[in-house]
Amino acid sequence: MKSTHTSRRTRQLLTGLTVLLVVLSFSLTLGLNYRERRLREDNTAVATAIEHIRYTMVEMSDGMRGMLLSPDSALERKRKFDADADMGATVDALHARLAEEPELLAALDAMGEYDKQNLNAKENQVIELIGTDPKAAAAFYASTYLPARHEFDQLVLALRAKGQALNDTRLANLATQARFAYVGIGSLLALCLVVTSFQSRALNRELRRIAEELNQGADQTSAAATQVSASSQSLAEGASEQAASLEETSASLEEIASMTKRNAENATQAKALAAQTRTAADAGASEMEEMKRAMDAIQASSDGISRIIKTIDEIAFQTNILALNAAVEAARAGEAGMGFAVVADEVRSLAQRSAQSAKETAGKIGDSVQRSAHGVQICGQVAQSLSEIVAKAREVDTLVAEIATASTEQTQGISQVNIAISQMDKVTQANAAGAEESAAAAEELTSQTVMQKESVAALLALVSDGRPAASSTPITPAPVPNAPAAPRTRHPAPPAADGRPPARGQSRLKYAPLEAPGANGHGNGDHDHFAG
């Protein structure tokens, strides 16, 4: 990433540099041309001025000669002075133009100095001599003035030559500079081009790598699309199975609801029965109390009978004693008491029988009393048991009431569970629809991947200059999911009366045949078939 960034920066820098160099060379060319033209123009101007000076000088000498020939001629005189003024103005202009040329300025100054010192003096002498002695003036003119003028002309020519030489030197310098600049710019441009070509090769390599990565990405995307297709298939399968389970759950819930209702009814009945049981137990307890009282009465009368028996026994005992006394008395009486002894014996045996009967009755009564006491005891236990039964019946009553309440709550809970189940059903259908959509999206993804592959192949061809694309594998089309239809057909589809729309997966049937050759109709088999 960092190297890519750096190379991009370098490329930008190189491009900018190249453009800069091109612009620089253009401007350099323009500048050189301008300077050359300026130099040539200056040179031409200086040469023109010097020629003009020479012309004015000729004009001046011509004027002077005219004056010599016709001293009174004002025209000639004016001609000479006009030329004089013209030369002064030209020299001044040249002086101004050559202000930055010290060499030429020195030559010009020397020329001007000579003009002032020699030529002007000689002119003035000629003009004076014209007034006085025209012949001498002509002689002076010819002997002195003309050589001076020739000297001056030589100076002017020297100036011209000097300016010409200076100009030539500058032009030569300029040409040398231009050559150096062009060579430098050219070498820089060449360097830039070389670097750019290297960069371009690196860019190509980068592009190639990216293209291959894109290719791999397309392959991976294709695989992912296949996986998405498979998972959406299994998702649809799971959704349909879930829908079937939900139906079963719903049926079970209905059964549970009816059972719960029955439970509640039974609990109500059990409550009533428990109340009856409690009442019966209460009645039994009170009857038990009565029974206990009866037992107590029996015991009391048994006690009374027992006392009576005791009294009888006592009487028998006393009778026995009396009989024995009588027998003793009879024995004392000897023969006379024999009959009395028999009576006494009879009385005694009666008393003994009476005592025996009393004893037996007492035994019976005691037995009865004992049994009665036992009955009382059992009676108490039964009463306790009955009271326990009453308590338990109360508990049962409470429990049954709680059961009834719980059953009612359970019914409410079951209705809530029913609502939740219907919501789950909706979610399941949404899941199935989502699985359909994701399958379609996987298909779309696969076609996009094919297009991407083609683009990558084109890019690779472009990058590798006709070399064959290396890793271009054909994209296998993602299998069209048909699984959502299969489980739906396995489980009977819910009737339309349920309000549920028919499974969207069924529409896939006409695109993907269920019975793939060599596959058992299961999703994975289909995949293998399509992939192979």
Phi, psi of 491 (to 5 degrees): -90, 140
Min separation Cβ 325 and other proteins, Å? 5
User: Are residues 55 and 236 in contact, defined by beta-carbon separation less than 8 angstroms?
Assistant: no
170-175: long-range pairs with CB below 8 Å, 24+: 170/39, 171/36, 171/39, 171/40, 174/32, 174/35, 174/36, 174/39
Min separation Cβ 352 and other proteins, Å? 9
Min separation Cβ 326 and other proteins, Å? 9
Instruction: Kindly tell me which of 114 and 317 has the beta carbon lying closer to other proteins.
Output: 317
Binding site for other proteins (CB under 8 A): 317-318, 320-321, 324-325, 327-328, 331-332, 341, 345, 348
Classified as helix, coil or strand, 217 is helix
Instruction: Kindly tell me which of 341 and 399 has the beta carbon lying closer to other proteins.
Output: 341
How far is Cα 120 from Cα 111, in angstroms, rounded to an integer? Answer: 12
- In a 13 Å sphere around the CA of 318, the CA atoms on its Cβ side amount to 6
Min separation Cβ 363 and other proteins, Å? 16
Neighbours of 126 (CB within 10 A): 24
Structure tokens at 366: 């005691």
Quote the longest CA-to-CA distance of the chain: 265
Min separation Cβ 341 and other proteins, Å? 8
User: Are residues 346 and 364 in contact, defined by beta-carbon separation less than 8 angstroms?
Assistant: no
Instruction: Kindly tell me which of 352 and 506 has the beta carbon lying closer to other proteins.
Output: 352
What does the buried/exposed string (b/e) look like for 193-210 if buried means 16 or more CB atoms within 10 Å of the residue's CB?
Answer: eebbeebeeebeebbbee
Instruction: Kindly tell me which of 149 and 348 has the beta carbon lying closer to other proteins.
Output: 348
Min separation Cβ 317 and other proteins, Å? 7
Instruction: Kindly tell me which of 324 and 373 has the beta carbon lying closer to other proteins.
Output: 324
Who's near 445: CB < 8 A, 6+ residues apart? 221, 224, 225, 228, 478
Burial class (CB in 10 A: 0-12, 13-18, 19+), 476: middle
Chain centroid to CA 411? 45
Instruction: Kindly tell me which of 332 and 510 has the beta carbon lying closer to other proteins.
Output: 332
Instruction: Kindly tell me which of 351 and 432 has the beta carbon lying closer to other proteins.
Output: 351
Question: Which residue type sits at 263?
Answer: N
Instruction: Kindly tell me which of 297 and 331 has the beta carbon lying closer to other proteins.
Output: 331
Min separation Cβ 344 and other proteins, Å? 8
Who's near 192: CB < 8 A, 6+ residues apart? 14, 17, 18, 21
Min separation Cβ 321 and other proteins, Å? 5
Instruction: Kindly tell me which of 267 and 323 has the beta carbon lying closer to other proteins.
Output: 323
Min separation Cβ 354 and other proteins, Å? 15
Its sign, for the CA torsion 496, 498, 500, 505, is negative
Min separation Cβ 313 and other proteins, Å? 9
How far is Cα 230 from Cα 195, in angstroms, rounded to an integer? Answer: 51
Instruction: Kindly tell me which of 55 and 317 has the beta carbon lying closer to other proteins.
Output: 317
